[in-house]
Structure 1
Amino acid sequence: MPDSSPRPPIGRELRKEIARYVQFYNQERPHQSLNEAKPDQFYAHTIEKIAS
C-alpha cells in the first residue's frame, strides 16, 4: 500500500518555503516582544527616528 502522506520539500522547493515563512515572520506576524508590531514595521520606524 503506497504512503499517501505528503513528502517533505527538498532543494529549491524547500528554499521557497523557507523564504515564504521568513516573509510571513517579518511582515505579517505580530511579535509580543515588539508590542505586537511586525518586525519590518518596528525596524522601519526605528530607522526613521534615527534618521530624523
Structure 2
Amino acid sequence: MYKLKHSKSISKRFKVTVTGKILRRKASRSHLLQKKSTKRKRRLRHISLVNVNDIKFY
C-alpha cells in the first residue's frame, strides 16, 4: 500500500491550537491595498478562529 499524504497547502494556511481550535488568517490582505482604509487593513492583520460550523468532523 502506498504512503498516505496530507495536504501541505492546508498545513501552511491553518494552525491547530492545544485545545483543538483552528486558527486562520483573514482574506483580502495580499493585494489592492491602496483603496482599502487603514482601519480595514489593521483589522485584517489579526488572526482569527475558524467557525465551528465550517469544520468537518469525522
Q: Do both share a fold (TM > 0.5)? A: no
Higher strand fraction (1 or 2): 2
Greater relative contact order (Cα < 8 A, sep 6+)? 2
